[in-house]
Structure 1
Amino acid sequence: MENSAMAEPSKADRKANGNGKVKIAAVGDLHVQEDSQTSYRDLFGEVSREADILVLTGDLTNLGKPKEAELLSEDLRACSIPVVAVLGNHDYESGCVDQIAATLRQAGVYLLDGQATELMDVGFVGVKGFIGGFGPRMLGSFGEPAIKTMVAESVNEAMRLENAMRQVRAKRTLVVLHYAPIVDTVAGEPPEIFPFLGSSRLAETIDRFKVSAVVHGHAHRGSYEGQTPGGAKVYNVAMHITKPTGRPYALIEI
């Protein structure tokens, strides 16, 4: 995937090589609005001083409007480190997802949708993910065609994640999702909506590989930390989740 670099490579390399780890700032659910006075320029500037790479976990726009993506791209000018992202369900709302993706890629964002990229010896793998529920209560492909279509989409996202994982050659890997792969990090949301917040199919795929960490958003009132059945650390980095940094973004060292 070709991207115009947003990074200051020497600065990023210097910070990462200090202790052999890469510091990743991760946040999701920015919900940039066309008529909002909110700007993320200061936040992105702060992140550039604190981390080596910024990861955005979807719902970058509020209504999936091209203008919202343009406003986000303008704010990202304040970010002097590489940016990796996936889209979320809100980014699809207005049927302009191709235009949104093009705008973000033109701004230098490594936008992943079933692909992998490597930055600073870390592999980044990204898909949006989808709904379906967790564990034994996960929705099965049975009954009406509409249900089967829904389950097929969930399975397809898991398969796209697996295909992307197979592209990774780096020894360290961060999986970037919008929807949750486990129930632990949606805890705090109303139980009735758990099936709409993610799918265990994503965790099943993740656990077939060696993964350093997983980040996602979507569950605004969920919990910060959990792990897959196979032991991979999972972090819900949605904007409103309380994080150890005390800031809207998490800092994860890999």
Structure 2
Amino acid sequence: MVDDIKDSTADGVRTLRIAAMGDLHVSEDAQASYRDLFSEISREADVLVLTGDLTNLGKPREAELLAEDLRNCSIPVVGVLGNHDYESGAVEDVTNILRQAEVRLLDGQAIEIEQVGFVGVKGFVGGFGARMLGSFGEPAIKAMVAESVNEAMQLENAMRQVRAKRTLVILHYAPIADTVAGEPLEIFPFLGSSRLAETIDRFKVSAVVHGHAHRGSYEGRTPGGAKVYNVAMHVDKPSGRPYALLEI
């Protein structure tokens, strides 16, 4: 099943079919390969979007294994990194390996493919709505909030670069609580931040995709009405596959 993202500004423009998935968690001792899945996606979609946690421990060898599998992907690949990709302190190496494999990794940038803008940031924690963490108290809390604000500012700056009439926002962390529903309530503040949704709702956005919440829910909306999809591999999707299929 394909989710059709209606966008009245795109009348007469070719619809772009996007496969979106996250949380591959490729490890050094992985027994499974994604090669067949990437070949399948190449037949089903025009662009593959990856929403972070591409590696399990952020090791360069894990990125190399993913890069090898991506050779079977014959369509453009766009993505962001996730928190697991930072674990080993080798994020620059991981980034370089994946970019050499022609993955267009975004970190506060925007690109355009087939008249669709792709905007990506990792995002960060902080919580949702009235329970969102405020910048008060210990320096460690203020630093955490500052990082969350910085990610939202990077997203806003990237959105201002977009000239296309259709835009897909790519995140790792969730911008709304609806798509993390199903996770333990105690960890909600660590799954995303409403600051991302506040930024998204300042712009015209066709759809938003994220990962991170393995036990979350597939679909929700920002307060401003933008459609949000949790495309973590473990989340059930209408496609019945590990990836979501969106038409924009």
Question: Under TM normalisation by the shorter chain, which class is it?
Answer: over 0.9
Structure 2 stretches lacking a partner, 5+ long: 1-11
Distance apart, 1:37 and its partner CA: 1.2
Q: Aligned pair 1:139/2:166, yes or no? A: no
In the other structure, the counterpart of 1:151 is: 145
What's the offset of the Cα at 1:38? 1.1
RMSD (Å) for aligned C-alpha atoms: 0.9
| Partner residue in 2 for 1:196 | 190
Deviation at 1:83, TM superposition (A): 0.2
2:177 aligned to 177, 180, 183, which one? 183
User: Shift in Å at residue 29 of structure 1?
Assistant: 0.0
**Counterpart check, 1:226 vs 2:220:** yes
Instruction: Give the deviation of 1:19 after TM superposition.
Output: 7.7
Q: Which of 31, 43, 48 is 1:54 aligned to?
A: 48
Secondary structure of the residue that 2:125 maps to in structure 1? Answer: coil
Letter in 2 for 1:61: T
The structure 1 segments of at least 4 consecutive aligned residues displaced by more than 4 Å after TM superposition are none
SS of residue in 1 equivalent to 2:168? strand
Aligned to 1:129, the other structure's residue is in SS state coil
TM-score, normalising length: structure 2: 0.95
Of the three residues 13, 36, 41, the one matched with 1:42 is 36
Aligned residue for 1:178, secondary structure, equals: coil
1:70 matches 2:64: yes
Distance 1:37 1:222 in 2: 26
Q: Report the Cα distance in structure 1 between the residues aligned to 2:222 and 2:69, rounded to whole angstroms.
A: 34
Partner Cα distance (1:196, 1:73) in 2: 29
Q: Does 1:113 align with 2:107?
A: yes
- Which residue, out of 208, 218, 231, partners 1:237? 231
**Amino acid of the structure 2 residue aligned with 1:46:** E
- Give the partner amino acid of 1:228: T
CA apart distance, 1:20:
2.2
Report the CA distance between 1:242 and its aligned residue: 0.2
**Greater relative contact order (Cα 8 A, min sep 6): structure 1 or 2?**
2
Structure 1 letter corresponding to 2:170: V
**Amino acid paired to 1:155:** V
Query: Within 2, Cα distance between the matches of 1:252 and 1:131?
Result: 26
CA offset at residue 151 of structure 1? 0.2
Deviation string 1:178-212 (CA, Å, 9 cap, x unpaired) is: 00000000000000000000000000000000000
- The equivalent residue for 2:207 is 213
The match for 1:165 among 149, 159, 180 is 159
Structure 2 residue matching 1:64: 3-state secondary structure:
coil
Equivalent position SS for 2:186: helix
Amino acid at match of 1:39: S
1:198 maps to a residue whose letter is: G
Letter in 2 for 1:74: E
Q: Provide the rounded CA distance (Å) in 2 between the counterparts of 1:28 and 1:116.
A: 19
Identity across the alignment (%): 83
Equivalent position SS for 1:21: coil
Specify the SS of the correspondent of 1:113.
coil
Partner Cα distance (2:99, 2:202) in 1: 30
